[in-house]
Chains A and B, each alone.
Chain A
Amino acid sequence: MPSAAPIVSVRDLVKCYGDVRAVDGVSFDVYGGEILVILGPSGCGKSTTLRTLAGLERPDSGEIVLNGKVVSDPEKGIFVPPEKRNTGMVFQSFAIWPHMTCGDQVALPLKVRGHPRQDRRERVRKMLEFVDLGGLEERNGTDLSGGQQQRLSLARALVYEPDLLLLDEPLSNLDAQLRQQMRVELKGLQAKLKATFLFVTHDQVEAMTLADRILVMRDGRIQQLGSPGELYKDPVNPFVHAFLGKSIHLDAERVDDGGAAYARLADGCRLALPDAGGVAAGESLMVGLRPEDLELVGEAREPGAGELRAAVHNLIYLGDRYELALETCGVEFVISLEDDSQVAGDRVLLRVKDGRLKVWPT
């Protein structure tokens, strides 16, 4: 899907607020027709990155190229104001202008681009129909429901066919059910228009559903950039691992035994290391697992290599499955079971499925 030349190129972007480096040397590309999601906890610099692309913030250094044109480069004194960048933006608050009708809101960007009246009316009508707001031209924007306002702000941002649509946590103001529905609608809309979306969120489910690629940020820096599958299966560090899905992180130490390398946990259990992960013998490391990487081993015996021992905290019956709350080496986690036949007593043995263990140096 990604075409050869990127629509957006960001190089070494830095934005400071006082002493805080909100965005600290970020570089990435966005390709035509893709949805790139910037994912991270609040305060990680993801919104600031988006806003510098829109031209709403002036970066301190670094270069932004939009559609082949340098729009921001403080070292060279280049700063193209937001209205000259031809991007679209959907705000968290939707930013519906309270004094304008739906039709006027969508028509304004066309008006400043010099479209004649008749053409404006036609495009507005089509656009509103496209986002399921057909016939609401004369309604006041702020009289619409939350989901409708969301679609109106999409219509306003898309009607002039911007090179890039920026979405700043657009779903966080909607209730859970509507949010799920809008996720699907957004994805469909983007596919139909073949538009390029840059989407900012802190919600990993949102990121996984929408994204062609995900960029994980933390403290102003990029942690990892890749497809949802890559990020889920091969997280480069414990942060990315924990941010996407459920995770179990255990401290360990590398021990070598008979030519094989193991991670030895605090309780003595040993897990075979797939590769050393750059950790020398005797050094400490961190292993990462997800609940689905573990399976219950029936027998009550001492754990062998590749097995964990865990204390049972409780077992909850949820109808279609059981949830078993466990603890190992001071770390609590929950795994799902189809039946409870293998849970007996206050201890269980868990086997790590082949190739699932993640290892990072600490």
Chain B
Amino acid sequence: MADLTGMAGHTVSRRGRFLLREWSLASLLLAAAGVVSLPPVVFILMNSVNTADPTDPFVFGFDGWVSGFANRKTLDAIGYSFLLSVRTLIGISAAFLLSWLLVRVRVPGRAFIELSLWIAYFLPSLPLAISWILLADPNYGVLNRFLTPMGITLNPYTFTGIIWVHLTASTIPIMTILLMPAMRQLEASLEEAARVCGLGSWRTFRYVLVPVLAPAMLTVWLAGVIRGLESFQVELLLGRPANIDVFATRIYDLITWEPPEFAQAITLSTFFLGVLFVLALFYQHFTSRRQYATLSGRGTSFRQVDMGSLRYVVSGALIVVVGIAVYLPIGTLVLGSCMTIFGYFDIADPYTLDHWRAVLEDPVFLRSAQNSIILGLATAVLGVTIYCLFGFALVRTQLQGRAVANVFLWLPWAVPGILSGLGFLWIFLTVPFLVPLYGTLMSLVWVLIVKEVPIGVHLVKTSFTQISVELEHAARVCGCGWFYTLWRITVPLIAPTLIAIFVIVFIASIRDVDNVVLLTGASTRPLAILMMEHALGGQMESASIISVILAFFAVGVALLMRRFSGRMQM
């Protein structure tokens, strides 16, 4: 009895400790998820009714809304943002056809075409925009040297020009990459049944394949619209001369002008946050119901669609298109970096390495390169660690508040880079204990980690769920604590995914412009921003040199990643 009472007295404190532990872990998870993803959104929403500048005290008012929506340029920017989204419709149609040709027809040379798509996907869009300027500028564009005599003059500084660069550089490659798995998992018997009951190849395609894949296409298309609305770099470079503004470039202008128009920028941001939030809700709605009986999980063997010798024609055409869309711009960049004055082949010494020498010796370049590498490595290392812990907490624990944390962690996906940058700029200017972070690389690392949270956590969660929990339980029962189990059992098993995430985050960080452009200063400027500044300043030769270096990084790392892509779930 004495024993029992002694124990009872002892256990009260243990129970208290136990509850405290559960409660504090759960709130820690929520707080961490919130701190990671909420600040920019909260700050933007809060300050949409603030008429004062960030460093001044809060003044309630709707001036921003009034002046913002009375401004003709702002309204035009909103209009163009939506109008340019039309490209996603072209993109999804092309991507569907392309993935069908690659997966079902299995055209010759599909491995090369697929690799090219990955390369295009990993190439930053700014270098591609620069190379299309080099190719199609009305004054010195290489293509125009041949085309103008024939009565055609290309001009990249147009609505069509912007759409073309987007489609070839990112929209079609990423949509195709996303649609291919769905195309692969399609049960062969569906097509076979259609064929047997008398539908020809075309009508099988039209009446079976397209409707069955429609939901997958819808989600990919919605994702394309959401991501497309945030685009910034191409519009800045190509839209500016044509007087085409989208909301991201408009916000950039409002902030960087003297004096900055914070109130207007914030209200425009709030408006787009609303639009994107609605789109993201739709997207979540469709993806959460994406279990279709028709898409079996097995890697089904399906009958190849036989096109006869036509497939060689198709393959040839595709390779030409890929050549024009992917390799022509890359080649042009390399060429451009080695020319005395770009586009002038007739002068005495058209080719030179002087620009390379000048750039590589430029202390500003060296500083920026160093910044980029530090930024990439720090973001990737810290990011993978943080995503891993979040993934663990969300999949492997029963903590309260996981559902809310899931939503928080998904949020940055719908927030355009420029808005996130704006939100963080405001935070670093106004939150007292965060002010020291302003103007440091650490602030950029934070912003970039937040940007990649959705994809990073999603990939970690997927690979966690693919590992039998019994492997971890076996370790726990035979004496390993939870962290040791995570370290010795789980992490080695999901290592391929973690490496893939590392690569994705690294590439995304060194090429990012949108998120960091409002936050960088002379001492923290990374290569991507330097490249943008050179291109905007008309120094095309040095801009293309930095582009080549960045592209080399991105493609090199992308090739590295392809070795893991088989085991990766994109």
Contacts and interface: CB of A to CB of B under 8 A. Distances in A.
B partners with A: yes
A112 B471 contact: no
Given A83-B479, A83-B480, A112-B484, A95 B473 contact: yes
B496 to A, nearest CB: 11
Interface in A96-121: 97-99, 108-109, 112-113
Contacts of A85: 477
B19 interface: yes
A156 interface: yes
A83 B18 contact: no
Interface stretch (A86-94, A202-210, A241-249, A335-343): A86-94
B18 A56 contact: no
Interface string A61-101: 00000000010010011110111011111011101011100
Contacts of A93: 468, 470
A81 B476 contact: yes
Given A76-B15, A77-B11, A95-B471, A88 B477 contact: yes
A220 interface: no
Contact of A79 (B8, B18, B484, B493): B18
B493 A98 contact: yes
A105 B208 CA distance: 50
Contacts of B488: 108
B479 A113 contact: yes
A54 B473 CA distance: 9
B82 to A, nearest CB: 45
A31 interface: no
A153 B18 contact: no
Interface in B132-172: none
Contacts of B477: 54-56, 82-83, 85, 87-89, 157, 166
A202 to B, nearest CB: 18
A197 interface: no
A112 B488 CA distance: 11
A70 B471 CA distance: 26
Interface string A118-150: 000000000000000000000000000000000
Contact of B475 (A55, A86, A98, A108): A108
Given A77-B15, A77-B18, A78-B14, A109 B478 contact: yes
Q: How large is the interface on B (under 10, 10 to 19, 20 to 34, 35 or more residues)?
A: 20 to 34
Contacts of A92: 470
Interface string A149-178: 000010011001000001000000000000
Residue among A70, A81, A98, A108 with the highest chain B CB neighbour number at 10 A: A108
B16 A77 contact: yes
Nearest to A79: B18
B492 interface: yes
A81 B482 CA distance: 9
Given A76-B11, A77-B14, A97 B478 contact: no
A77 B14 CA distance: 6
B321 to A, nearest CB: 42
B481 interface: yes
Contacts of A156: 474, 478
Contacts of B474: 89, 91, 95, 97, 153, 156
A99 B473 CA distance: 16
A78 B18 CA distance: 8
B489 interface: yes
Given A83-B479, A83-B481, A78 B468 contact: no
Interface in B3-39: 7-8, 11-12, 14-19
Nearest to A112: B479
A83 B473 CA distance: 9
A86 B479 CA distance: 7
B395 to A, nearest CB: 15
A91 B473 contact: yes
A226 B286 CA distance: 55
Interface string A226-255: 000000000000000000000000000000
B19 A160 contact: no
Interface in B354-378: none
Contacts of B7: 70, 76
Interface string A319-346: 0000000000000000000000000000
Nearest to A56: B473
Contacts of A78: 11, 14-15, 18
Shortest Cβ-Cβ A-B pairs, 10 listed: A77-B15, A109-B478, A95-B474, A76-B11, A82-B476, A95-B470, A89-B477, A77-B18, A91-B470, A112-B479
21 contacts: A56-B473, A77-B16, A77-B17, A78-B11, A78-B15, A79-B18, A83-B477, A83-B478, A83-B480, A91-B474, A95-B468, A95-B470, A95-B473, A99-B492, A99-B493, A108-B475, A108-B478, A112-B480, A156-B474, A156-B478, A166-B477
Interface of B: 7-8, 11-12, 14-19, 468, 470-471, 473-482, 484, 488-489, 492-493
